Structure 1
Amino acid sequence: MGDNPPDYELADRMSLTRPDQVKAIGHPLRTTILQLLHERAATVTELAIAVERPKSTVAHHVEVLTRSGLVRVVRTRRVRAVEERFHGRTARMFYVAAEPTTGGAEMPRDFNDFEVAARESAPAFEEGRLWGFIRHARLTDEQARQFWKQMADLVETFDRLPRSGETTYGFAVGIYPADHPALPPPR
């Protein structure tokens, strides 16, 4: 593990295959909690202070994440007569599986990381501090899968950066089929 955050053991990647898991990460407060737990394990009290929300609200959201298998208690410590529980993520990276779910349940259609990124990045855009690219290329399905793996590796590199500095930066990547013009095949 070394200097890489967080301060507890966890899997590198976890595929979200159940609707309850996708729904769990679809709530902005739960997403923020997961991001905070990427730095280090934390108690509900610490999380409540960080997000400036009531402890009971944060405890509810931590419980939802725990039931979904995205968060677990990684250690405890005794403080006076109370046992403090430190929560941590179960994986560095969560991703929504492309394969269909079992049992006939469908994944929620309203979950979109880019919608979250667009909302979060609006102030940076207004301040001239938003950097981004968009490109289009015709690819085979296999090329798209390989490129996605490279992007996942880049996200993992970003996730392992030491937490320092005064500004929290967002990082969004994706690949998607697009209705975009293409040149005809060469003659």
Structure 2
Amino acid sequence: MANNPPDYALADRLALTEPAQVKALGHPLRTSILQLLHERAATVSELAAAVRRPKSTVAHHVHVLEVNGLLKVVRTRRVRAVEERFYGRTARMFFVEPGPAMGKARDFNDFEVAARESAEAFEAGKLWGFIRQARISPDQASQFWDRMAELVEEFDRLPRSGDTTYGFAVGIYPTGHPALPPRES
């Protein structure tokens, strides 16, 4: 499979173990910044131009991501009397590590982000999606999640091209849907 990684080294996965890390991901501008850095390292000026926001605003959000371990300076260059910093992600994929410190991690919900981002595509008839329910064991759900994580990693590694950025949301969750009783003998 073709691999078009960013122009800097980064880990494949990073477990988010602190509530502040999850909260840092909860802002739409920060998720946009992280998405842009999938392609290559960038300066605050480049990020500000891409998201059409003031440099001071973008610098604030870059700082929040940096202090929470989601971004780092991957290289610098001297431009006149100023050292310009290029920021990169610390990992290709971030995931919430369940644990006592994390609680229920209500500050960030991938599906809420996906719903907000996909509304325009839905209205334009350009949203592709499926939802299914199946009664399966917790072990089967865990195995299926592992397969979905592999698919997300494959999506992340696709060579960047074209003019449109596509979203990709996957998940598995317990529902309150009813189940048929066992068959009668």
TM superposition score normalised by structure 1: 0.93
Which residue number corresponds to residue 180 of structure 1? Answer: 177
Query: What is the rounded CA distance, in whole Å, between the counterparts of 1:13 and 1:133 in structure 2?
Result: 26
Mapping for residues 100-115 of structure 1, pairs under 5 Å: 100-101=100-101, 106-115=103-112
Q: Is the 8 A contact 1:19 1:107 kept in 2?
A: no
Q: Secondary structure at the match of 1:75?
A: strand
- 1:86-165 matches, within 5 Å, as 86-101=86-101, 106-165=103-162
Alpha-carbon distance between aligned partners in 2 of 1:107 and 1:177, rounded to the nearest angstrom: 15
Unaligned runs of 5+ in 2: none
Task: Look up the SS of the partner of 2:162 in the other structure.
Answer: coil
Which letter maps to 1:37?
Answer: L
State how far apart, in whole Å, the 1-side matches of 2:84 and 2:104 are.
Answer: 35
Shift of 1:98: 2.6
**What does residue 59 of structure 2 align with?**
59
Question: How far did residue 142 of structure 1 move?
Answer: 1.7
Deviation, structure 1 residue 100: 2.8
Mapped partners of 2:130, 2:11: distance in 1: 30
Once the two structures are TM-superposed, the CA of residue 107 in structure 1 deviates from its matched residue by: 4.9
Q: Secondary structure at the match of 2:119?
A: helix
Partners of 2:22 and 2:107 within 8 A in 1: no
Which structure 1 segments of 5+ residues have no match? none
Write the distance in 2 (CA, Å) between the matches of 1:99 and 1:185.
36
Tell me the distance in 1 between the aligned counterparts of 2:35 and 2:146: 21
Match of 2:86, SS state, is: strand
- Name the CA distance, whole Å, in 2 between partners of 1:154 and 1:185: 34
- Structure 2: which amino acid aligns with 1:52? R
CA distance in 2, matches of 1:25, 1:174: 17
What amino acid does structure 2 have at the position aligned with 1:136? Q
**CA distance, structure 2, for counterparts of residue 152 and residue 146 of structure 1:** 10
> 2 CA distance for matches of 1:107 and 1:73?
31
| Corresponding letter in the other structure for 1:173 | V
Q: Identity percentage over the alignment? A: 75
What is the total number of aligned residue pairs between the two structures?
Answer: 183
Q: What secondary structure sits across from 1:7 in the alignment?
A: coil
Q: CA deviation at 1:153?
A: 0.8
Residue equivalent to 2:73: 73
1:140 CA displacement = 1.7
**Aligned-residue RMSD, C-alpha:** 1.4
1:107/1:61 Cα in 2 relative to 1: closer, same or farther (>3 Å)?
farther
Distance 1:107 1:19, change over 3 A: farther
